[in-house]
Amino acid sequence: MAGYDITDVPSIELSDSERDLLESLGADSMQSTLMTEAIIGVNERDEVLGPLSKISAHRDAGAYHRAFSVLLFDSDNRLLLQRRAHDKVTFPGVWANSCCSHPLHSEDELDEDGAIGVKRAAIRKLEQELGIDPQNFSHDDFTFMTKMRYSARMNETWIEREIDHILVVQKDVILNINTNEVSETMWVTYEELEAMLVDEAQTNGSVAPWFRCIAARVMNDDWWSALGDSKALENLSDEMIHDMGDVTHMLPEAEGAGLNVSVLEVKPLVEQRIMSSLLASRHERLAAAMTHLIHGGGKRLRATLPWLVGKAVGDSHSGMLDVGAAIETVHNFTLVHDDIMDDDEVRRGRNAVHIEFDLPTAINAGDAMLAIAFERLVQAEGLQAEDVAPLVNRIAWMVRRVSEGQQMDIEFEEELAVSEEDYIEMIEGKTAVMFLTCAEIGARMAGADQETIDCMADWGLAVGLCFQLMDDLIDVLSNSEVLGKPAGSDVAQGKRTLMVIHALSQPDSPDKQTLLAALGKGDAVDSETLRAALGALANLGSIDYAKKRAVEYHAKAHACLDRIPKGPAMRALRELTDFQLKRIS
């Protein structure tokens, strides 16, 4: 692997859709071939998962993979920068460090002893990109400094998600750049690099977000001072993985992804956290009961919301995923108990936990999930000790408000005179407070100011209220297959939704009597009577009224986002605001 002949490189055959995508982008044959390279898929801890094609690691939601960044200095302590070729598929035309690429999923470059694998990859790519004779280097010339984990999106289609191994080497070299990879180079002093980071205009091109992270957050003045002294550099190295979070906002021309892709970026990471916590139980049946609903899938909107908000208003980090996992575990605990209290037998198209197992086990599983959620919460990565108590207090407040909302919901089933104000208070606790808390905590953990935190809390509340109103409407307007439970079950159970409250406030009429004939009758109501009751809700104008109120909260949520500076991550929050409304539009 010393030289770079494309036939020497392990590769993965592209799918038809991948070939079509590259063709539609006008990628030349060399760039298309490079996208077949088998690189190293890893988890957040840089543990090898297996080979990935370069295109699959960078397309859509992408996947974490191993990378390296070379910082090549000359004898005058100047750093070599390269500008990526304009024909590159990902991040064309941006200024980056001397050489940045990926070790391959090969025996030579998988070798982790002394970082030898990434050093071999670095020598290979320094030749392939910059034409530097590999005979100029030995592996000992390179000093492994540290690692960093980051995500950076170019647009909806392309993203970098890397565990980046940072290497320093000092050598006077002759460049013969490969114009298919590099458009131009420059050597910069410490002062020139600092000026470049402040004012990108002077370089006629943006700075790559990963290099900005290295230069501004990882590489400190001591690195520059240690140049020429390999022992001093080695003393500055560490085995950490510095968590940069999502740094898409560092690229001025970056375009954010939509909600689906943004959720898919981190959904597996959150689910891994949830499952590892729940499966830590020493009791197999209890663990199976706790994970039953998780296996049933779910959108994971609450779980990913702290991350989505955090990267929209400040600096994101993996601790937000830990908090999201804790809140999602709380949410699933409430679902287990809700199904018991509501006597629902189906959830997400599968048996409810108390049906699949038994009632005592379901209650016990829910209790355990609540405890496990707080365990995950206090272990969240990146939390300072002084932040733990306020965070625990806020989540505990959320759980209490959810319980209060659920109790109101239970009691409403026995009352005819439930007001709209009572209903809003109930759904604020039962549903909206989780959205509020996720958004508020995400903004706070991102380092946003208090005004922004309050704004995002208001947004979360409005989204949550709209979400529950729309959920009630979907129960009436969708079929059983879509719902995963019988359509109209809320009416059969006697739920006091806004539609029912509005209908019951109308003057007596045949439609009102038709509704009352089904309301709260449970299993005793037949499908024809229930279908007629749903028609009565429409005839009484109650469905339209609930839609109107949902639209009002939807508008309020967008008004909150209007107060936040625009950025690439805002697109996902806009789409989340629209998510439920679109389901019946």
Residue 37 clears pLDDT 80, i.e. is over it: yes
| Boundary residue ending a domain (201, 229, 250) | 250
In this predicted structure, what is the pLDDT of residue 144? 98
pLDDT of residue 3: 43
User: What is the mean pLDDT of the segment spanning 58-87?
Assistant: 96
Task: Tell whether 216 is covered by a domain.
Answer: yes
Report which of 217, 109, 214 is spatially closest to residue 168, judged by C-alpha positions.
Answer: 214
Shared domain for 340 and 363, answered yes or no, is yes
- Give the CA count within 13 Å in the CB-facing half-sphere of 501: 21
**One domain, residues 124 and 238:** yes
Sequence-separated contacts (24+) of 181-184 with Cβ below 8 Å: 181/84, 181/85, 181/88, 181/128, 181/129, 182/82, 182/83, 182/84, 182/85, 182/129, 182/130, 183/83, 183/84, 183/85, 183/86, 183/93, 184/82, 184/83
Q: Is the pLDDT of residue 200 over 70?
A: no
Does the pLDDT value for residue 21 go beyond 80? yes
Instruction: Indicate if 377 and 350 belong to the same structural domain.
Output: yes
* Structural domain includes residue 1: no
Q: Confirm whether 306 is domain-assigned.
A: yes
- Average the pLDDT over 346-368 and give the result: 93
Q: What is the mean pLDDT of residues 372-386?
A: 90
**515 plus 534 within the same structural domain:** yes
Q: Is residue 236 over pLDDT 80? A: yes
> pLDDT value at position 483?
45
pLDDT, tens only, 117-157: 999 999 999 999 999 999 999 999 999 999 999 999 999 99
Whether the pLDDT of residue 458 is over 50: the answer is: yes
Convert the pLDDT of each residue in 392-439 to its tens digit. 999 999 999 999 999 998 888 777 788 999 999 999 998 999 999 999
Query: Does residue 321 lie within any of the structural domains?
Result: yes
**Measured distance CA(201)–CA(207) in Å, rounded:** 10
Residue 325 lies in a domain: yes
pLDDT > 90 fraction of the chain, expressed in percent and rounded: 81
Q: Is the pLDDT of residue 555 over 90?
A: yes
Reported pTM: 0.91
Q: Which of 110-118's residues contact partners 24+ apart within 8 Å by CB, and which partners?
A: 110/40, 110/48, 114/139, 114/144, 115/142, 115/144, 115/165, 115/167, 118/66, 118/68, 118/144, 118/165, 118/167
CA terminus-to-terminus distance, the chain: 57
Q: What is the CATH number of the domain that holds 491?
A: 1.10.600.10
Domain boundary pick from 250, 278, 307: 250
Q: Give pLDDT, residue 514.
A: 95
Q: Rounded to an integer, what distance in angstroms lies between the CA atom of residue 238 and that of residue 249?
A: 27
Percent of the chain with pLDDT over 70: 96
Quick: pLDDT tens for 257-292. Answer: 999 999 999 999 999 999 999 998 889 999 999 999
Same domain, 208 and 146: yes
In a domain, 21, yes or no: yes
Do 219 and 316 lie in one domain? The reply is no
Mean pLDDT of 20-31: 86
Residue 406 shares a structural domain with residue 533: yes
Residues 240 and 284 occupy one common structural domain:
no
- How many structural domains is the chain composed of? 2
Would you place residue 482 in the very low, low, confident or very high pLDDT band (cuts 50, 70, 90)?
A: very low
Span 485-511, average pLDDT: 88
Last residue of a domain, one of 250, 280, 301: 250
Judged by average pLDDT, the poorest of 18-32, 120-134, 528-542 is 18-32
Query: For 567-585, what is the mean pLDDT?
Result: 88
Tell me the residue range of the domain where 284 lies: 259-582
Q: Specify the pLDDT at position 237.
A: 96
CATH number at residue 168: 3.90.79.10
Closest by Cα among 298, 291, 317 to 306: 317
Task: Please list, residue by residue across 196-223, b when 16 or more beta carbons sit within 10 angstroms of its beta carbon and e when fewer do.
Answer: beeebeebebbbbbbbbbbbeebbeeeb
Residue 233 has pLDDT above 80, yes or no: yes
| 296: in domain | yes
Could you tell me if 91 and 177 lie in one domain? Answer: yes
Mean pLDDT of the chain: 92
Give residue 299's identity as a one-letter amino acid code: K
Within a domain: residue 446?
Answer: yes
Whether 63 and 208 map to the same domain: the answer is yes
- Give the C-alpha separation, 56 to 224, whole Å: 36
Residues 201 and 269 in one domain: no
Q: Look at residue 70 and tell me whether its pLDDT is greater than 60.
A: yes
Are residues 440 and 488 part of one domain?
A: yes
Cα four-point dihedral sign 216, 222, 228, 232: negative
